[in-house]
Chains A and B, each alone.
Chain A
């Protein structure tokens, strides 16, 4: 097991290198010069050249990349072109907010999705199943900036129950009230996926021989479903939930922007518009690393849930 984890971690290194090269090249292909953007329309060519030199943008591309790698090995992700703050510091400041939001969203998706999946599987074809199917379809197709705005409009502006945006003033009550709307909004897509998957996985399991055996032994229906069905039905759901969690961490940019949640996603959106290369690079690497680690964790949980799976 230890060797397996080590091997997976080692494989992650070339993967991250590839990611960093792709980000580097993508930024070169995207039109827009950070120096011109920052200095404004009345900048002289001299001051643009001076700023490009300060930013190291006048070096040949391979040299820029090597310099970036060299600094990266020393744990230095550079400074933001815009704020001149250290990128590592900015990521350390915004990362906990993103993590908090993703965990909350995943918690909602699982807490609602798993039971709903089981119930709709058991009551297949019933009223609840039909309603869930329609609701899930609608939620999956709703763009997050619209559903987010709707939530803000009804719960904050109309009812005045919850704050519209931001992350609160540090007290638990304020933090929680600020967390609810963005977490619900972010959870919708994963929730829909989990309900659908849990339902079909449960249906598969309910048709298995060992369930019939358990039932014929006279166990109560819900004991059969929860004790014998659930554990087996969960296996594919765990994989997908893990991948979904990775996406929640990486894909919270829209939710963070709509709810003004001070996380990595919002940081990246702002950085992209000002072509703030160091911030974009740092954030993408952080997101990629997280994604790789989450995937590894999912594989490990998988082995725990299904003893037939062994890593070596």
Chain B
């Protein structure tokens, strides 16, 4: 979900460093005491207005046809899903008051009654059917709802969903914002422009949107749940990381998305600002292109795993912001049960020699610039430990557009890749490690992995599926399918006056209890 639109990070970082060096020389404090009059937010009454600076604009608020992580971020404030993940990590009731799984392919839902869309029309089973069918047809929702066979409303508050095949993590996919229920009247009225005129049942409603500039959301007075404390949320799109941070320093905005990680230390000790850092279910790993003749050999991959210690990468390179990963599945998605082989340079050299490379080899390492927290810097920090076992790494850093296109053609050798944003282990593992998956950029093929993936979704219960995914996660480590480095963190910087600003492990906002004093 991290934006690919951070521009020219190298030169910018130097410039920023110089700026702060100059500031340090002049002995000036890093935060202003006299904020300009433009800062209207802090003078608002209890609850008040929260102004958030984000890195990119939203592309559409038609959730069935969402196009970016940012769409989900704002969409989740406007729309509700049938079920929603609670803090316990389990699907909890949301628009569905209760549900029953009759058999592996049949689910019955009872809707909450008396819920109204923001356009005033009532929520009913027909509206749910219409939205889920739209989502299943959308280019983007297809991968989440392909398993739905038919949806049958029995009356206004009851509906049955039949699946084409058992799919154990079905409820997880219903909790994705893409399945956020939109008013059918609104869809009818606005047609192709519904993405600019959203009408959900969520805690906030959209009242103004200037493309590329800002967006205003107001509290939904008819919200069915506990009403949020905030009156208003203003989202300003500020692409440049340093400018976004300056707007916070100057007091113009209350919260900043993705502050520069090198400000973390300074933010932690600041008296005016705070660092908000919560787990984000995204894994970043060092991947192997298995179609490369060297990397296709198991001992070579195991050697690299034995040499690439994620610990210093996390503690130093990410400034302790991210969490050291063991397996591929982040702990927010599923309990982590993976054990990793120890870091052992001598053993790594032995493994390389046994594979026929006693003197090592030279290989490219593909990495994006600024898409994931400290991606390029992680690649640079990996050069030394790999050099120690004779593997010379050439870093090929590029923007995500060029990266994804080359990865799709399997041109990389080693690479650093991230995956996140849904709470379904199947989505991530299948995309990356299933032999027939188009996005299996590591060209990884192992019949056992395929068997476990297919077996898991076919289980009649989620618990049974979980056991198979845990088995697969361990198998991927044993087979050195990749080297998980860190589990991400969503990073925000905020004024101290902002309280209870919560982000969910999916990188979304929960602003129902947020206040600005």
Contacts and interface: CB of A to CB of B under 8 A. Distances in A.
B212 A161 contact: no
Interface stretch (B11-19, B288-296, B313-321, B381-389): B11-19
Contact of A160 (B5, B32, B240, B399): B32
A47 B142 contact: yes
Interface in A131-158: 143, 145-146, 149-150, 152-153, 156-158
A259 B34 CA distance: 20
Interface in A229-276: 257-260, 262, 266-267, 269-270, 273-275
Nearest to B18: A146
Contact of B439 (A41, A51, A84, A146): A41
B402 A32 contact: yes
Contacts of A83: 57, 59-60, 211
B362 interface: no
Contacts of B31: 157
B438 A162 contact: no
Contacts of B402: 30-32
Given A43-B439, A158-B32, A161-B36, A262 B213 contact: yes
A257 B239 contact: yes
Interface string A45-83: 111101100000000000000000000000000000011
Given A37-B401, A150-B19, A269-B7, A166 B236 contact: yes
A31 B243 contact: no
A160 B60 contact: no
A42 to B, nearest CB: 4
Given A164-B252, A259-B243, A270-B239, A47 B405 contact: no
Nearest to B418: A41
Contacts of B399: 32, 273
A130 interface: no
B346 interface: no
A267 B213 CA distance: 11
Contacts of A20: none
A289 B401 CA distance: 28
Contact of A32 (B236, B405, B441): B405
A258 B195 contact: no
A257 B240 contact: yes
A300 interface: no
Contacts of B355: none
A161 B427 CA distance: 50
B438 A45 contact: yes
A213 interface: no
A42 B427 contact: yes
B161 interface: no
A167 B213 contact: yes
Contacts of B57: 83, 270
A163 B252 contact: yes
B4 A149 contact: no
A149 B212 contact: no
A36 interface: yes
Contacts of B195: 84
B15 A39 contact: no
B28 interface: yes
Interface string B121-134: 00000000000000
Contact of A47 (B143, B210, B247): B143
Contacts of B11: 143, 145
Interface string B27-56: 010011011101000000000000000001
A156 B250 contact: yes
A273 B5 contact: yes
Contacts, number: 166
A187 to B, nearest CB: 19
Residue from A156, A266, A269 whose CB has the most chain B CB atoms within 10 Å = A156
A63 to B, nearest CB: 22
Interface residues of A, number: 59
Contacts of A166: 213, 236, 238
Interface string A23-39: 00000001111001111
Contact of B404 (A32, A156, A267, A270): A32
B140 A39 contact: yes
B22 A165 contact: no
A44 interface: yes
B357 interface: no
Contacts of A149: 15-16, 19, 242-243, 246
Contacts of B343: none
A94 interface: yes
Interface string A78-92: 000011110000100
Contact of B419 (A31, A37, A38, A41): A41
Interface string B412-435: 000000010000000100010000
Contacts of A152: 242-243, 246
Contacts of B192: 84
A93 interface: yes
B287 to A, nearest CB: 12
Identify the interface centre among B192, B408, B441: most chain A CB within 10 Å of its CB. B408
B7 A273 contact: yes
Interface in B373-399: 398-399
A146 B212 contact: no
Interface in B113-161: 139-140, 142-143
Interface string B223-254: 00000000000001111101100110111100
B8 interface: yes
Contacts of B7: 257, 269, 273
Contacts of A266: 212, 239
Nearest to A257: B240
A283 to B, nearest CB: 13
Given A273-B401, A274-B401, A275-B401, A36 B36 contact: no
Contact of B212 (A39, A163, A262): A262
A160 to B, nearest CB: 4
B128 to A, nearest CB: 23
A260 B15 contact: no
A46 to B, nearest CB: 8
Given A149-B246, A152-B246, A274-B401, A93 B211 contact: yes
Contacts of A269: 7, 239
Nearest to A263: B212
B406 interface: yes
A262 B239 CA distance: 11
- In the complex, the 5 A-B pairs of residues with the closest C-beta atoms, listed nearest first: A32-B401, A146-B15, A31-B402, A42-B431, A160-B34
15 contacts: A48-B438, A83-B57, A83-B59, A84-B192, A145-B15, A146-B19, A149-B16, A257-B240, A258-B243, A260-B237, A266-B212, A266-B239, A269-B7, A273-B400, A274-B4
Given A152-B243, A273-B401, 6 more contacts: A30-B402, A50-B139, A83-B211, A93-B211, A150-B19, A260-B239
Interface of A: 30-33, 36-48, 50-51, 82-85, 90, 93-94, 143, 145-146, 149-150, 152-153, 156-167, 174, 177, 257-260, 262, 266-267, 269-270, 273-275
Interface of B: 4-5, 7-8, 11-12, 15-16, 18-19, 22-23, 28, 31-32, 34-36, 38, 56-57, 59-60, 67, 139-140, 142-143, 192, 195, 210-213, 236-240, 242-243, 246-247, 249-252, 398-402, 404-406, 408, 419, 427, 431, 438-439, 441
